[in-house]
Structure 1
Amino acid sequence: MPRTSNARVTRAGRIVQHVSGLLSAGAYKPGERLPSVRQAAREHGVSKNTMADAYDQLVAQGLLEARAGSGYYVAQFQLPRAVPPAPHVAAAVDVVSLLREQLDQHYEVRPGDGRPPAFWTEGSELKRYFSGFKTAEPEAVDFGYGSSWGYAPLRERLRMWLLERSISVQPDGLLLTHGVNHGLDLIIRHLIEPGDTVFVDDPGYYPLFGKLTLAKARMIGIRRGPDGPDLEDLAARLAVHRPKVFFTQSLAHNPTGSTLSPAVAFGLMQLAERWGFLIVENDALADIVPTTLPRLAALDQLNRVLYVGTFSKTLSASLRCGFVAGHPSLVGALANLKMLTTVATSDYVERFVFNLIQGGQYLRHLRRLKARVEEAHKASCAGLEAVGLKVRQSVTPGFYLWTEFSGEIDELELCRKAAERSIFLAPGSLFRPDRASGGRAAIRVNVAYGTNPAFLDFLSEQVR
């Protein structure tokens, strides 16, 4: 069996090289359809599986597009050319408690976790890749720090991916990071001075609140609705406050699961332009949601939007790899700050991620992950509603659901009771920038654990 597998991969690789050469020579025009898998397999004298593998690698490299039910087409994206360079802790600690449990893991049932289970990620293509640990193309490794900007081929591949999301990034407009949190930390260090006013989602991403607290920023929450930030609430706050930055997550929002609508996206960008504030858009789950969904960075083309992404949510929490994209003047300053604080990110990790992409393993992994998320999202919604809880609906299945309790329920007492049964909950108050503001008791539920019988039985008892 190993000989057959290696031979199949070798044949697929030769096909990839052959088709890549044809594309480079202009044998196919952008948008032109390639022969079907069956026809191409006959022409190359290989099995349909081998041909499909070769096409998948070409899609992963950005050379082809796969259209469901139609076939494979030559990609139409072109990267912008390079331009000549211009001359030249106490208050935050309580927020960390939820993070600490996600790392140390004392509880058996984990609906409050922020990440998918390991078998959804590490147990997929990643495990297979580690077992063989072969790179797509053998290359010499420098054994140095690497560039402070990050591994160049991965940066170029990311720029191509962002074009698929209608976001055009200049060569010096993308910086690799250790993940979203590292990107947010760099942005806060560079932009925020003590006493500066910033807007955040309410409810929103709690690790961000801890970073802003450490930076001594003044946080103002903007109510998060089912289709994004509430524009009426935003307008009312703008009449009183002058924020420097608005930190938000557009798609598959953490913790509510909501997704930005086109109307809200357009209205938000109009207000940003009128009032002169920057936007930091967190798109941590971009790889499992459709590329056609509205993104602020696509509307703005990185003029006043900094766009932050990661592989750590969808690939592995242990592979700390992400990026910040934005205007070159801002991203260049972040690159300098990164060099001063961490010198560089891991060249090994970035090469590893790049080779997963180039070899097609990441694409195959995402297909499985999306299917698992969609199934778990649907089942978790049904399970929570069956015990009498109302779930905030989302048009885009993601990792998270937000459910509020009716009546008088003490969140801390609820978490204490759950802990006695080794059930880890994520209380809603942790996701509020002002935890004393009140509101209904709520929890964030990870869809991977939303149908756990012990968890649902516990909730049913509390609702009754």
Structure 2
Amino acid sequence: MTRTDELVDDVRRRIASGQLMAGERLPSVRRHAIAMGVSPSTVVEAYDRLVAEGAIRSRPGSGFYVAGASTPFALQEPRPDFERAVDPLWVSRQSLDADAATARPGCGWLPADWMPDEALRRSLRRVAKGGLEGLVDYAMTRGSAALRRTLARQFSQEGLDIEPDRILLAVSGTQAVDLVCRFLLQPGDTVLLDDPCYFNFQALMRAHRVKVVSVPYTPSGPDPERFAELAREHAPKLYLTNSAIHNPTGATPSPAVLHRLLLAAAAYDVTIVEDDIFADFEPEPTPRLAALDGLERVIRVGSFSKTLSASARCGYIAARADWIEALIDLQVATNFGGPSPLVTDIVQGVLADGSYHKHVLALRGRLAKRRKEVGAQLDAMGVRPWTQPRGGFSLWCRLPDGRDATDLAKAALRDGIVLAPGNVFSPSLGAPDLMRFNVTQMPAVVLDWLRRTLSAPI
């Protein structure tokens, strides 16, 4: 605790105990500094903090006075909503609002201690020591040129050769998808989604008031024959999917499936949005729709929230040059520019100094070990993986004895555990006995709860 903290706490205690009454004048800065054996600047900082929190008031030319009694704002702490319908927003709401004591094997992110904290702190210190503009200015319309150049070099290594000006930085991966939807869709249009798919894709499509048609997802990717049939029948404007490590299944589309998808998309004039947010979890890169297509009808989006920081949020869009220009206008209209320069400079700093590459390599190995450990324990309970993912932190599993995943998730929430039941991922509600488990968010207490609950009679 600093001396400033001590002074602030001392004044608070004296007010709470009645030693200082409402309206009473506090000692002057100089007198208080002498009495407490600190510098005047320390007292000024303490008084300023107390003014900011409303405990005291400043009267220019007169001094500082204890504030009158006031009724504090009644803030309701977020609590689990046991009555809320288990829909595509259920897992997000319960996970984001959970307190520190709640286990969250249903959430879609890594624990804080899996993230590169020292690299982030170094980058933050470098940014803080830099020019004032990065701390106070708006972003350029395309976002940080340095970060876009870094992304372009990364894409080139994957076989996607584009100029940095064909990359637009966004506030997050979700905002990137939202911008694309604003650009390409009108209410009533049809969109193809995988079944199952990332649940927030469904929530976002609902917000855009479009019709969703689902494409069955297999261990080798979306069913290409069914994709072509649905594209011909429904004339969708857009197909939104995960590449590489699919969410929630963990499957990786085969090259043959990707090729057939592109042929069908071209035949029926379907634009594809390829969300590549889990790309860096892959042990070895696999083909991407964006690289195979050259960004003619494929738009690539992604972010660093899963591998670097969900607090320093920064997404990106890679697309045709004319589409990027239109998306810039939309981002200016809806957000007055891209992500904070403070955030993009932090991300760029971690990517540029080599620490991100080392972090990702270590992360892949740690995740492989954890998937194996948790998978073995789930298997002993009769919980079977739908497929064996090549990377990432999720296991998409079938529950034993036809157990209803939604009922299980509701019971778990009452015991302080947030699970992700299968039907929140399925537009057709065709996954009642499936569950997505985040292996990094499964302490012993969760595994013990599952073991007890699944062994009990239905």
TM-score between both structures, scaled by the size of structure 2: 0.76
2:432 is the alignment partner of 1:445: no
**1:418 aligned counterpart, secondary structure:** helix
Does the 8 Å contact 2:127/2:342 carry over to 1? Answer: no
Of the three residues 417, 439, 446, the one matched with 2:411 is: 417
Q: Is the 8 A contact 1:200 1:222 kept in 2?
A: yes
- Structure 1 counterpart SS, 2:246: coil
Could you tell me which residue of structure 1 aligns to residue 110 of structure 2? Answer: 116
Provide the residue aligned with 2:18 in structure 1: none
Equivalents in 1 of 2:255, 2:434: separation in Å? 27
Residue aligned with 1:247, SS = strand
Give, in whole Å, the separation in 2 of the partners of 1:93 and 1:170.
Answer: 43
Q: Give the CA deviation at 1:204.
A: 0.4
Look up the match of 2:423: 429
- Separation in 2, partners of 1:306, 1:431: 22
Of 399, 403, 406, the residue aligned with 2:397 is: 403
Q: Give deviations 1:430-455, integer Å, cap 9, x for gaps.
A: 111233xx4442111102134x3332
Q: 450, 454, 458: which is aligned to 1:459?
A: 450
Contact 2:404 2:432 in 1 (8 A): no
Separation of aligned partners in 2, 1:238 and 1:333: 26
Find the counterpart in structure 1 of residue 177 from structure 2: 184
CA distance in 1: counterparts of 2:310 and 2:293, whole angstroms: 30
1:62-81 aligned at under 5 Å gives the runs none
How is 1:105-184 mapped onto 2 (pairs within 5 angstroms)?
A: 105-106=98-99, 108-121=102-115, 123=117, 125-127=119-121, 129-130=123-124, 133-135=125-127, 138=130, 141=133, 143-184=136-177
1:347 aligned onto 2:341: yes
* 1:191 to 1:343, Cα distance in 2 relative to 1, 3 A: same
- Give how far 1:118 is off: 0.5
Q: Are the equivalent residues in 2 in contact too, given 1:154–1:354 (CA < 8 A)? A: yes
SS in structure 2 at match of 1:379: helix
Pick from 181, 191, 194 the counterpart of residue 198 of structure 1: 191
- Asked if 1:371 is matched to 2:372, the reply is no
One-letter amino acid matched to 1:223 = P
Range that drifts further, 422-431 or 408-417:
408-417
1:379 maps to amino acid:
E
SS in 2 for 1:134: helix
CA, structure 1 residues 179+394, in 2 after alignment: closer, same or farther (shift >3 Å)? farther
Contact 2:422 2:433 in 1 (8 A): yes
Give the match for residue 266 of structure 1.
259
CA-CA distance at 1:209 after TM superposition: 0.9
Per-residue CA deviations over 1:209-267 (Å, capped at 9, x if unaligned) read: 11111111100111111111111321332342211111010111111111111111111
**1:270-318 C-alpha deviation (Å, 9 max, x unpaired):** 1111221110000001122246311100100101000001011110110
Paired residue type of 2:446: F
Distance 1:122 1:99, change over 3 A: farther
* Alignment of 1:302 onto 2:295: yes
Name the structure 1 match of 2:28: none
Q: Report deviation, 1:159.
A: 0.6
The 1:278–1:203 alpha-carbon spacing in structure 2 relative to 1, beyond 3 Å, is: same
| In structure 2, C-alpha distance between the alignment counterparts of 1:119 and 1:458, rounded to whole Å | 23
Closer, same or farther in 2 for the Cα pair 1:198/1:147, shift >3 Å? same
Instruction: Tell me the amino acid that sits aligned with residue 371 of structure 2.
Output: H
- Match of 1:382? 376
Contact 1:124 1:365 in 2 (8 A): no
**Structure 2 vs 1, CA of residues 439 and 176 (structure 1 numbering), >3 Å: closer, same or farther?**
closer
Q: 1:413 to 1:322 in 2, by over 3 A?
A: same
Count of matched residue pairs: 369
Report the equivalent of 2:307.
Answer: 314
CA distance in 1, matches of 2:360, 2:183: 33
2:102 corresponds to 1:101: no
Aligned amino acid, residue 292 of structure 1:
P
- Unpaired runs of at least 5, structure 2: 1-83
Partner amino acid, structure 2, of 1:210: A
Runs of 4 or more consecutive aligned structure 1 residues displaced over 4 Å after TM superposition: 91-94, 127-130, 135-140
2:162 alignment partner, SS class: coil
The change in CA–CA distance for 1:239 and 1:406 in structure 2 (over 3 A counts) is: farther
Task: Give secondary structure in 1 for the equivalent of 2:411.
Answer: helix
After TM superposition, give the deviation of residue 139 of structure 1 in Å.
5.1
CA distance in 2, matches of 1:440, 1:95: 14
Per-residue CA shift, 1:1-31, capped at 9, x if unaligned? xxxxxxxxxxxxxxxxxxxxxxxxxxxxxxx
Give the counterpart of 1:222 among 208, 211, 215: 215
* 8 A Cα contact 1:228 1:264, kept in partner: yes
* Compared CA separation, residues 317 and 411, structure 1 to 2 (3 A): same
Q: Give the alignment's TM-score, normalised by structure 1.
A: 0.75
Secondary structure of the structure 2 residue equivalent to 1:401 = strand
Give the conservation status (yes or no) of the 8 Å contact 1:283–1:309. Answer: yes
